[in-house]
Amino acid sequence: MRIAAAIDLSVKEQETLRRYVRSRTTSVRLIERSKIILLASEGATNQTIASELGITENKVGRWRSRYAQGGLKAIEKDRPRGKNHGGKKTVTQSRLRNKVIHMTTQETPEDATHWSTRSLAEKLNTTHTFVHRVWKSVGLKPHLIKTFKLSNDPQFEQKLHDVVGLYLDPPHNAVVFSIDEKSSIQALDRTQPGLPMKKGRCGTMTHDYKRYGTSSLFAALDIATGQVIGESYPQHRHQEFLKFLKKVDRQTPKDKEIHIILDNYATHKHPKVLEWIEKKKRLFIHFIPTSSSWLNLVERFFGILTDKRLRRGVFTSVKELEAALKDFIEQHNRNPKPFVWTKSTNEILEKVGRARERLNNLQTN
């Protein structure tokens, strides 16, 4: 049985400890420690002190021992965090930290697809705050997942060089457009009015909505200036796409070549579209590889449009939706800022190569 350290206080030490307890400026921690030592000096057991102060016996014993060894200085300051007093605790925590990382990345719980801080803490007999600190320190976020798809286009490298070359070194006396359509944008109204944001509370919207129809926005992003040519249509067939290309052609100076970056959507390769393009000697088409929408810069513009105007937008008609789209483009064009492409073809190919290697390793193991 462990014997509690004996505490014998001088008159001066008693006065100092009582002053700590009475003072309004003393920290809560030091007040608690002072009470422990004063009660211990009166002969109280660790169990009695713990019960009276509402703390654990281990805590009482720890500060009692420290005072017996170091006096007032021992309780006036906390020990530095992370200091290895004997090495055992540090080694144990290091092993536990490694176990948290290993299990998070290499194992899954029996009843879920990924660990939570609490489920992993229970499994390892530790606290969820410790698991959270470990995850945060190494950037682990098991609750998040990102989607991806590697292109299987046999001409991937060739098309990549072509499109990235246009971004990094566009041809002289030419305009380069990144073109795509954001199809079937819904005109949605909420079933009930939302509440506005105010201090201490975010705005609210009902989860359900009324549908009033859809519209498709065709957009051409000038990669040099950041300006956008846009037009809304009720459908997104080859007929609408051809009308839009003709609009882009009309609005581009006649002495300039037009280079257009497109994805592989069937509408873009319709025979009538290709026939018209063939007749326009100044117009050149550059198709991105399949499953590579990230390579088409106009998608960045669509992302901004969605975040700023559509996601929380309320529209009671298609006409109102299309007016909002037109207004957004006009506002954008008043102060356009081009997206700057920075990755070289070689950097992209290296990254894709590493991804393929990882996938192959997973499939073979």
Does some domain include residue 147?
no
Q: What is the DSSP string of 96-164?
A: HHHHHHHHHHH---TTSSS--HHHHHHHHTS-HHHHHHHHHHHT--TT----------TTHHHHHHHHH
Residue 170 has pLDDT above 60, yes or no: yes
Band (pLDDT 50/70/90 cuts) for residue 92 is confident
Residues 255 and 121 grouped into a single domain = no
Q: Among 31, 50, 76, give the residue marking a domain's end.
A: 76
Distance of CA 230 to the CA centre of its chain: 30
Specify the amino acid at residue 65: S
Residue scoring higher pLDDT (17 or 194): 17
Domain count along the chain: 3
Does some domain include residue 357?
no
- Tokens matching residue 73: 């200085």
Q: Is 219 helix (H, G, I), strand (E, B) or coil?
A: strand
Residue 336 has pLDDT above 50, yes or no: yes
Residues 119 and 227 grouped into a single domain = no
State mean pLDDT over 181-197: 90
How many Cβ atoms sit within 10 Å of the Cβ of residue 124? 15
Per-residue confidence (pLDDT) for residue 1, from 0 to 100: 45
Domain region containing 104: 91-138
State mean pLDDT over 181-201: 89
Report how far residue 64's alpha carbon sits from residue 45's, in angstroms, rounded to the nearest whole number: 11
Residues 162 and 289 grouped into a single domain = yes
Residue 89 has pLDDT above 60, yes or no: no
Residues 162 and 126 grouped into a single domain = no
Q: β-strand 283-287 against 209-222: which pairing, if any?
A: unpaired
Residues 257 and 284 grouped into a single domain = yes
Can you name the residues that pair with 187 across neighbouring β-strands? none
State mean pLDDT over 281-297: 93
What does the mean pLDDT of the chain come to? 90
pLDDT tens track for 18-77: 999 998 888 888 999 999 999 999 989 999 999 889 899 889 999 998 898 888 988 987
Report how far residue 61's alpha carbon sits from residue 38's, in angstroms, rounded to the nearest whole number: 13
High-pLDDT (> 70) share of the chain, %: 95
High-pLDDT (> 90) share of the chain, %: 62
**Within 13 Å of residue 223, how many CA atoms lie on the same side as its CB?**
26
Band (pLDDT 50/70/90 cuts) for residue 365 is low
Residue scoring higher pLDDT (193 or 182): 182
Tell me 198's DSSP state: B
How many Cβ atoms sit within 10 Å of the Cβ of residue 222? 19
Residue 90 has pLDDT above 70, yes or no: no
Per-residue confidence (pLDDT) for residue 251, from 0 to 100: 96
Residues 235 and 276 grouped into a single domain = yes
Q: Is 190 helix (H, G, I), strand (E, B) or coil?
A: strand
Band (pLDDT 50/70/90 cuts) for residue 355 is confident
Does some domain include residue 213?
yes
Q: What is the CA radius of gyration of the chain?
A: 34
Residues 176 and 283 grouped into a single domain = yes
Per the confidence metrics, is the pTM higher than 0.85?
Answer: no
Residue scoring higher pLDDT (90 or 339): 339
Does some domain include residue 6?
no
Per-residue confidence (pLDDT) for residue 308, from 0 to 100: 94
Residues 196 and 336 grouped into a single domain = yes
Does some domain include residue 146?
no
**Inter-axis angle of helices 57-70 and 46-53, nearest 10:** 120
- Tokens matching residue 13: 């030490």
Band (pLDDT 50/70/90 cuts) for residue 217 is very high
* CATH assignment at residue 260: 3.30.420.10
Q: Please state which of the ranges 59-73, 80-94, 254-268 shows the lowest mean pLDDT.
A: 80-94
Report how far residue 17's alpha carbon sits from residue 32's, in angstroms, rounded to the nearest whole number: 10
Residues 57 and 111 grouped into a single domain = no
Residues 72 and 95 grouped into a single domain = no
Does some domain include residue 96?
yes
Does some domain include residue 83?
no
State mean pLDDT over 244-267: 96
Residue 291 · residue 151 · CB < 8 Å: yes
Residues 56 and 111 grouped into a single domain = no
Does some domain include residue 85?
no
Report how far residue 302's alpha carbon sits from residue 77's, in angstroms, rounded to the nearest whole number: 57
State mean pLDDT over 297-313: 94
Residue 286 · residue 262 · CB < 8 Å: yes
Residue 104 · residue 117 · CB < 8 Å: no
Residue 203 has pLDDT above 50, yes or no: yes
Specify the amino acid at residue 290: T
Residue scoring higher pLDDT (358 or 249): 249
Residues 168 and 278 grouped into a single domain = yes
Per-residue confidence (pLDDT) for residue 141, from 0 to 100: 94
